[in-house]
Amino acid sequence: MLQLDSTKHYLVTGVAGFIGFHLAKTLLERGCTVIGFDNLNEHYDVQLKRDRLKLLGCENFTFYHGDLTDKKALESIFSRHNLHYVINLAAQAGVRYSIENPDAYIDSNIQGFLNLLETIRRHKVEHLIYASSSSVYGQNTKIPYSVLDRTDEPVSLYAATKKANELFAHTYGHLFGIKTTGVRFFTVYGPFGRPDMAYFSFTKRIINGDEIEVYNNGDMWRDFTYIDDVINALLHIIPNPSGEAKLYNIGNTNPTRLSRFIEVLEEIIGKKAKMKMREMQPGDVYQTYADITNLHRDFGLSIQTSIEEGLTSFVKWYRSYYQV
């Protein structure tokens, strides 16, 4: 098991979110002190977020309800706690929602991230790790996607804000010596996941006997990455800042066709899906496929969980949580 320094203090923004919750839970289980920050927005079920927070409750966990756009709230937290690592997982998520509500993305993903960088600049931390996304690769046709590839043709505002985060982090690292690492997540899934994502909504609708919408006739490929593999990668990255701004892909490196993904869900649930075929949506991409060469080189990591294993764990959690 990877050893972590339990004397260090970890700030996890977006702590009530899917990845933030799992990261904080693992850090607390290792005896670390975690300061959590989240605005509990209503992009999806707030009760699910509150239930995640309940599971984090212990003497080593302090939670602050606030928003990255609130400079005073950030300043107060940094002044009150001796923070060593900041893991920024707070963001307005979702490709399609960015088309409907662009202001939310500018507020949270741009202004909020800038506020965090400015606060870190004043207080200094050992390492800032922040969430980027596979969406930054846009319509890249070269596969697998490498962190060395061009990422200047995003096809959604969400992707554009994540690319902007990478540029901001690089600039602040250059100007002020802030050590930063961006992590480009590839379709993360698992227990306590996000209800707005396909694997979650498909499971709900198949169990309920409702129709699911399948885009591009199921001919889309995603590098589905199980949450435990993501957390394992983060635990290796957090205590290892570099002298330069770094980027890592965190992906399964084994893309699954959407139609196969649905077949696996049907097998696990024991029920056939009712499907309605749709054309590909604006802002969507045909495939994602991660090259994790530098993650393997720097930490010896490979991704372990198959889509069959991961979805089995998710469906088991879903049935237990919703009692279906």
CA atoms of 19 and 185, how far apart (whole Å): 10
250-276 b/e (C-beta count within 10 Å ≥ 16 → b)? bbbbebbebeebbebbeebbeeebebe
C-alpha of 115 from chain center: 20
Does 158 qualify as catalytic in the annotation? yes
State the catalytic residue, choosing from 97, 105, 158, 199. Answer: 158
Structure tokens at 127: 């390492």
List all residues 6 or more positions away from 93 whose beta carbon is below 8 Å from its beta carbon: 17, 43, 158, 194, 196
Q: Which two tokens stand for residue 215?
A: 């885009």
Q: Between helices 71-80 and 113-123, what is the axis angle to 10°?
A: 30
Instruction: Give which of 286, 221, 291 is closest to 249, Cα–Cα.
Output: 291
**Active site residues per annotation:** 158
